[in-house]
Chain A
Amino acid sequence: MEIINEIKFTMPSLSVNESTARAVVSSFLIQADPTVEELSDIRTAVSEAVTNCIVHGYRHKKGNIELTVRLLPERIAYIRIKDKGCGIKDIKQAMEPLFTTAPEEERSGLGFSVMESFMDKLSVRSIPEKGTIITMRKKLSSHGE
């Protein structure tokens, strides 16, 4: 994979870092001059993924969340969010709209639906008790498009 630019950022699984992750992604991608809508979509998808790590992955413990943002050729924004939490036993079920294992926290079960809708590609890899890696890509429009 050819990488034009890349940033790696590790943060503890504190809910205050949901906004930190959004700010890091925005600051990095601004070099590609994305549209306001594209940046909003990516920030929202990142927020959902990081919240999943905090609420589900590290539900009963604290740990680190690793965020990787890359700018790839052809104006592709690449995001990877990795945790070493409890993992997902049934990825298909977890990705069903409105499915949640945390209804008491009023989780709407829409995290993966938002990621799928707001990004072009979404990949979820998970091993129970080992962790989860979420990878997302979005093509940024060219100037003047």
Chain B
Amino acid sequence: MQMEIKNENGASVAMISGEIDHHNAKELRTQLDRYIISSKPPELVIDLGNITFMDSSGIGLIMGRCRLMQECGGRLIVHSPQPYIKRVLKLSGIERIVSIV
């Protein structure tokens, strides 16, 4: 699992690649929270286009970052989930609180 956060056209984009499970969600959570708290971006895009596996640990990760972004006055967007990951997202009902594009 790897993550790179960059600014694209004024938006912060977290590009994550590899697998998201309980084991590596903790590291992602630490890195993302550090960035959100220090940079307070108005919009954070989590790009899942290069994710090859995600279980419900990824749902917990997204929900937690969504809450933190709201507390910091911003919003979270989930971008480019693969069809298989969309099934996990849909099962959770997370699209009711997070924009998925």
Binding site for B on A (CB under 8 A): 15-16, 18-19, 22, 37, 40, 43-44, 47-48, 51, 54-55, 105-108, 110-111, 113-114, 117
B1: nearest chain-A partner, CB-CB? A19
Main SS class of interface, B: helix
Q: Quick check: A40 and B84 within 8 Å, CB to CB?
A: yes
Shortest CB–CB separation between residue A88 and chain B, in angstroms?
Answer: 17
Mind listing 14 A-B residue pairs with CB under 8 Å? A15-B23, A18-B21, A19-B21, A40-B53, A43-B53, A47-B53, A105-B22, A105-B60, A106-B25, A106-B29, A108-B92, A110-B91, A114-B55, A114-B88
List chain B residues, Cβ under 8 A from A44.
53, 55, 88
List chain B residues, Cβ under 8 A from A37.
84
Q: Is B63 an interface residue (CB 8 A)?
A: yes
16 further A-B contacts with Cβ under 8 Å, apart from A19-B23, A110-B59, are A15-B22, A18-B23, A19-B19, A22-B53, A40-B53, A40-B84, A44-B55, A47-B53, A47-B55, A51-B55, A106-B61, A107-B60, A108-B56, A108-B60, A110-B56, A114-B91
When A and B form their complex, which 10 residue pairs have the shortest distance between CB atoms, in order from nearest?
A106-B60, A15-B23, A110-B56, A108-B60, A108-B59, A47-B55, A51-B22, A106-B64, A18-B21, A108-B56
B interface bracket (residues with beta carbon within 8 Å of A)? 10 to 19
List chain B residues, Cβ under 8 A from A48.
55-56
Q: Quick check: A111 and B56 within 8 Å, CB to CB?
A: yes
Q: Is B57 an interface residue (CB 8 A)?
A: yes
Rounded to whole angstroms, the CA-CA distance of A110 and B92 in the bound complex is 7
Q: Quick check: B22 and A18 within 8 Å, CB to CB?
A: yes
Q: Which of B60, B61, B63 has the most CB of A within 10 A?
A: B60
Binding site for A on B (CB under 8 A): 19, 21-23, 25, 29, 53, 55-57, 59-61, 63-64, 84, 88, 91-92
A114: nearest chain-B partner, CB-CB? B56
Shortest CB–CB separation between residue B25 and chain A, in angstroms?
Answer: 7
B54: nearest chain-A partner, CB-CB? A44
Rounded to whole angstroms, the CA-CA distance of A105 and B35 in the bound complex is 19
A112: nearest chain-B partner, CB-CB? B56
List chain A residues, Cβ under 8 A from B88.
44, 114
Rounded to whole angstroms, the CA-CA distance of A48 and B55 in the bound complex is 7
Q: Quick check: B59 and A54 within 8 Å, CB to CB?
A: no
